[in-house]
């Protein structure tokens, strides 16, 4: 068996996961059941249960290594301490190492088999991302070490720039509009609503729908128009408040509000109110 070693940590889906090489071949990446549990938002014992209940599908030494069993079967103290030290580097607590019946390290192939057993859309989505961002880089370190110090420095600098660019992209894509932009969107929405309803001097602006019962809350046509506009806006941008509009989509948000049109039912009510064609209604003073 190739020696297992933790060579560092890698950012993945907001987590810092350990990079593990060896075990299934020199320079090959593998992953612990603890990391799988963290990435997939599962409890560690449930990951182990999935493997153990389908153990006939997995081949030891090819799909998985049971580190706990290697500790129990270690013929020297040095071997036992090596595995325990490895697990501690992987983030396992000493107590959990002692209490666990199995502690699995999965190869790329073993991880794929586990995903087939899970078989959920989320599991496959995480699988695709992990394969792209973790397992695909399996030969990088060996290649890097063969470069001259000058080229290593160039690659290191380039990698830092990539990390910075990635963080800036993340900030840009998650940043929401500021207070001034929020005010501007409110003003645009107000102007658009007034234009559609016919202005403040129109009958539709002050129109209140007839009450169906004495305990019914009065519904103002202008309020209904505004509510529908912001409902459509939030639905289009997939947000729960206009305040959460992504900053990178601000210009799109301005264009959306300027072009928004009320649905036909509200348009007809506006026409009827302005033409004084409702049978019974109240008007605000």
Each domain of the chain, given as residue ranges in start order, spans: 5-138, 144-174, 179-283
Rounded to an integer, what distance in angstroms lies between the CA atom of residue 145 and that of residue 72? 35
* Average of per-residue pLDDT values in the chain: 84
| 8 Å CB contact between 140 and 65 | no
Query: Tokens representing 207?
Result: 């129109």
The pLDDT value recorded for residue 139 is 47
> What b-and-e string marks burial along 214-227, b requiring 16 or more CB atoms within 10 Å of the CB?
eeeeeebbbebbbe
Q: Using DSSP, state whether 175 is helix, strand or coil.
A: coil
Strands annotated E in 33-123: 64-66, 104-107
Confidence of residue 198 (pLDDT cuts 50, 70, 90): very high
The pLDDT value recorded for residue 152 is 57
User: What's the whole-number mean pLDDT along residues 35-64?
Assistant: 92
Q: In terms of pLDDT, which residue wins out, 172 or 120? A: 120
Beta bridge pairs of residue 32: 105
What DSSP line would sit under 248-261, residue for residue? GGHHHHHHHHHH--
Confidence of residue 25 (pLDDT cuts 50, 70, 90): confident
Residue 280 pLDDT > 60:
no
Contacts of 66 (CB under 8 A, 6+ apart): 60, 102, 103, 104
User: How long, in residues, is the chain?
Assistant: 285
Confidence of residue 7 (pLDDT cuts 50, 70, 90): confident
Residue 121 pLDDT > 90:
no
Least confident of 36-40, 96-100, 176-180, 214-218: 214-218
Strands 29-32 and 104-107 turn out to be antiparallel
pTM over 0.95: no
């Amino acid at each position: 068996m190739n020696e297992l070693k933790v060579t560092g940590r890698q950012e993945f889906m907001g987590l810092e996961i350990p990079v593990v090489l060896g075990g299934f071949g020199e320079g090959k990446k593998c992953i612990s059941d603890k990391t799988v549990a963290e990435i997939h938002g599962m409890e560690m014992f449930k990951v182990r249960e999935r493997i153990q209940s389908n153990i006939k599908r997995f081949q030891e030494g090819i799909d998985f290594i049971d580190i706990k069993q290697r500790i129990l079967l270690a013929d020297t103290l040095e071997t036992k301490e090596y595995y325990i030290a490895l697990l501690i580097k992987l983030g396992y607590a000493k107590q959990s190492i002692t209490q666990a019946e199995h502690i699995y390290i999965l190869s790329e192939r073993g991880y794929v088999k586990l995903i087939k057993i899970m078989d959920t859309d989320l599991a496959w989505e995480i699988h695709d991302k992990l394969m792209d961002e973790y397992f695909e880089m399996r030969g990088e370190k060996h290649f890097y070490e063969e470069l001259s110090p000058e080229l290593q420095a160039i690659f290191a600098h380039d990698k830092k720039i990539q990390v910075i660019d990635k963080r800036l992209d993340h900030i840009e894509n998650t940043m929401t509009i500021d207070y001034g932009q929020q005010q501007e969107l409110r003003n645009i929405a107000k102007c658009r609503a007034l234009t559609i309803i016919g202005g403040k001097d129109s009958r539709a602006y002050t129109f209140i729908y007839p009450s169906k019962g004495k305990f019914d809350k009065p519904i103002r046509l202008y309020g209904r128009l505004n509510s529908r506009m912001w409902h459509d806006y939030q639905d289009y941008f997939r947000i729960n408040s206009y305040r959460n509009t992504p900053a990178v989509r601000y210009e799109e948000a301005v264009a959306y509000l300027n072009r928004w049109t009320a649905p036909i039912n509200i348009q007809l009510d506006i026409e009827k109110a302005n033409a004084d064609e409702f049978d019974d209604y109240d008007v605000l003073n």
